[in-house]
Structure 1
């Protein structure tokens, strides 16, 4: 199934040319194994583990024909040069702090299997996104009804023209609108780890706004610190070509997750070479006194240091 959406210079929205969903291909695990061997060899002593994730790792599930791979390393920084040497293009963190994202286009065994793309996600050991992806994959593998429901959602999204819109953000609406389904599956799977994410989809921005308004009731719509303004600014900010960040240059808006539930929000100001400022750190009142304030602050400090 391939649906094309042409881009027009007169349109205010940014479109990608097409989103393609393909029936499950039994060659996908073979393609993963082939590329995994290359990645493992390239990483050398920086390598810890590697996993096939995403929809191509779930038998009988339709998927975009892109092989998603997680590689676990000792040192993120060391991975960039070695992976670039095997044709992987470093694209930055996107919305996940502590995740280095690479892509390869048309680079796996082309003579044998055709033009296949790779999305490569690099993490250091014990990053919660590793467990998240494995639990999501394994749940779909063992629950055919959930797998089929996910397939129907994908097909439904492709029937909606707005799914092709990016609105000058990093992700298409097709990707963003799968978020609530993924959170529901993670809940059913028992995922409970604590992690931070840059606010990206509507659910995350809405949760951040709700948390903020619990404590600040006099926010005006024209206030530059209003979450609605922040959301619109993030939507309209141009993508930075180096780090591919579709967020405001000097402000970060982080959601704190406990499993699939958003329990906290922080607004961090990063004024260039000046000292970073944590403007707001909020934990939902139902989670007070459970150590989440300290955990959130620790994750923010690590985020600032890495930035």
Structure 2
């Protein structure tokens, strides 16, 4: 399990020289933010069931995270799912089953918590794969639960998402640039979320 310091610290790690995280590089495309859809939780439940059916005991934990997991929050029409397996680097143990389920490996980052990302073949799901000691899934859940409770930060994040999507689409940027445009607001919200959970004692 990660430490409190791991959870509350952001590790912005660049790829090692000559390395790339991309198995399938992203393409610039319009980023469409829509209002929260009451069907998203049910769609997640279907995906979770499918993943568990294909992976069986290799699923140590799985969770719906990201904006589609927060009622009332607008989002891209893409589910974000965190999947915990024993060892993400042991791809033969889990990747073939997910490939059979229709997922495509798009990101491999051994230098960042052994993170892998797969996309559903219809682009409707981002499946993030981590190991048990990774801090990032804890961050995602803390952020999700804070936004479910805190209307002010939920609306603040909604405004940041819409502004970032508009600018990124206007400039024909990829989703990575869209994410970077949101980062300042995201980090501010995280600081308040960590404080609210008692992980830090920094003032709001």
TM-score calculated relative to the size of structure 1? 0.50
Q: Distance in 1 between matches of 2:84 and 2:176?
A: 27
**CA shift for structure 1 position 172:** 3.3
Give the aligned partner of residue 28 of structure 1. Answer: 40
Q: Is the 8 A contact 1:42 1:83 kept in 2?
A: yes
In proportion to residue count, which structure has more helix? 2
Q: Distance in 1 between matches of 2:55 and 2:163?
A: 39
Determine which structure has more spread, i.e. the larger CA radius of gyration: 1
Give the aligned partner of residue 147 of structure 1. Answer: 154
Instruction: Output aligned runs, 1:82-231, within 5 Å.
Output: 82-93=97-108, 96-106=112-122, 117-160=124-167, 164-166=172-174, 171-190=175-194
Mean Cα displacement is larger for which, 83-92 or 96-105? Answer: 96-105
**CA shift for structure 1 position 175:** 1.2
Q: Is the 8 A contact 1:69 1:118 kept in 2?
A: yes
Q: Is the 8 A contact 2:104 2:121 kept in 1?
A: no
Query: Which 5+ residue runs of structure 1 have no aligned equivalent?
Result: 1-13, 107-115, 192-258, 260-307
TM-score calculated relative to the size of structure 2? 0.74
Instruction: Output aligned runs, 1:35-114, within 5 Å.
Output: 35-76=47-88, 77=91, 78-93=93-108, 96-106=112-122
Q: Distance in 1 between matches of 2:194 and 2:29?
A: 37
Q: Is the 8 A contact 1:92 1:101 kept in 2?
A: yes
> Following TM superposition, where does structure 1 have runs of at least 4 consecutive aligned residues deviating by more than 6 angstroms?
none
Higher relative contact order at CA 8 Å, sep ≥6: structure 1 or structure 2?
2
Q: Distance in 1 between matches of 2:30 and 2:50?
A: 29
Q: Is the 8 A contact 1:55 1:62 kept in 2?
A: yes
Aligned residues: 166
Q: 1:15 to 1:79 in 2, by over 3 A?
A: closer
Report SS of the residue matched to 2:83: strand
Q: Distance in 2 between matches of 1:186 and 1:155?
A: 19
Report SS of the residue matched to 1:177: helix
Q: 1:93 to 1:180 in 2, by over 3 A?
A: farther
Q: Is the 8 A contact 1:19 1:64 kept in 2?
A: yes
Query: Which 5+ residue runs of structure 2 have no aligned equivalent?
Result: 1-25
Q: 1:36 to 1:70 in 2, by over 3 A?
A: same
Q: Distance in 2 between matches of 1:73 and 1:66?
A: 22
Q: Is the 8 A contact 1:164 1:172 kept in 2?
A: no
Report SS of the residue matched to 2:36: coil
**CA shift for structure 1 position 183:** 1.2
Instruction: Tell me the C-alpha RMSD between the 2 structures.
Output: 2.1
Q: 1:162 to 1:24 in 2, by over 3 A?
A: same
Q: Distance in 1 between matches of 2:104 and 2:77?
A: 18
